[in-house]
Amino acid sequence: MLMCPPTYYTVRDVKNPFMRPETPVNRERAAQQWDALRAAFTQSGVDVQIVEPVEDLEDMVFAANQVFVGAGAAHARFIVPSRMRYESRQREVPYYVEWFGRHGFESLDLGLDAKSGEFLEGHGDLMWRPGSNVVLAGHGFRSSEGGVGRFSQAMQPEGIQVVPIRLVDETFYHLDTCLSPLNAEAALFYPGAFAGGSLDVLRGEWKRLYEVTREDALQFVCNGMSVNRHFIASHLSPALERALAIERLEPVCVDVSEFEKAGGSVFCMKNAF
């Protein structure tokens, strides 16, 4: 797993409906929360690697977005660099590409340049169905439908199936804000975030889907991370606890409220591979 320390983290502009530059980030508390999250991952048996933070890249701490990480038939370990919607976030991408290059990952270029007009935002929108060769691919707000289309084509020789999912509620701007895989068969989801047809697709992909309320979704319960039979999230609710009990996952609560001011929670703060 890869994380980026929040050394330069702040909320500077509005990239999603959660962000309010007039509400200051408490830097000290952010640093403590990030340390606690890293410790929770480590205690769950995860090896956490670090990419160095870069001054002026205030969202670099959200390590889920800069590259998609995959393993396929044509390339054993590869990344697909993102083309981020926002300029400041585009500047984060080369630092992650460099890190993965140094660690033996091949980089696949989809030609997602300014001229293409397409966007693809890594694991914010591209989500593996655990233990499968299927990637669910959200689009509508940050990744574009065309970006997902190009990604889908590039994944064909890898034997990876890409399932496009249309997002319709701008509050849930990334797929990882409204869908959270618990294991190979089960996921949490907030139905109001999805177009009707995409809801049917989701229902076909999972054996068990646990609905969360809008209220819970706004608290980022769908941005938790299931790892080694733990489910790490910043909030718990009775509905979530029931789902976790059925799936035999141990809830681990880690407050990352300082990061939620930027519209990101547990799942956004790491890249797992």
Positions in the binding site for ligand ARG (CB under 6 A) = 15-16, 59, 62, 64-65, 89, 124, 174, 176-177, 262-264, 268
Shortest distance, position 157 Cβ to ligand ARG, whole Å = 27
Q: Closer to ligand ARG at the Cβ: 75 or 91?
A: 91
Least separation in angstroms between CB 66 and ligand ARG:
10
Strand order in the sheet with 179-181: 179-181, 186-189, 208-211
**Using CA atoms, how far apart are residues 4 and 123, in angstroms rounded to an integer?**
15
* Contact partners, residue 63, CB within 8 Å, separation at least 6: 2, 3, 4, 51, 96, 268, 269, 270, 271
Check if 222 is active-site.
no
- Beta-carbon contacts of 10 under 8 Å, excluding residues fewer than 6 positions away, are 25, 27, 58
Nearer to ligand ARG by C-beta: 62 or 78? 62
Residue type, 79: I
3-state secondary structure of 72: coil
Nearest approach, Cβ of residue 104 and ligand ARG (Å):
24
Q: How far is the CB of 207 from ligand ARG (least distance, A)?
A: 25
Nearest to ligand ARG of 65, 198 (CB atom): 65
* Residue 268 annotated as catalytic: yes
Tokens of 129: 């169905």
* Between 19 and 74, CB nearer to ligand ARG: 19
Cβ closest to ligand ARG, residue 17 vs residue 74: 17
Q: Considering the complex, what minimum distance in angstroms separates the CB of residue 248 from ligand ARG?
A: 26
How many of the other CB atoms lie within 10 Å of CB of 192? 16
Q: Which residue has the tokens 């938790």?
A: 224
Choosing from 174, 178, 230, 235, the catalytic residue is 174
Q: Which of 202, 209, 205, 252 is nearest to 227 (CA)?
A: 252
Among the listed residues 4, 178, 222, 268, the single catalytic one is 268
**Catalytic residue list:** 174, 268
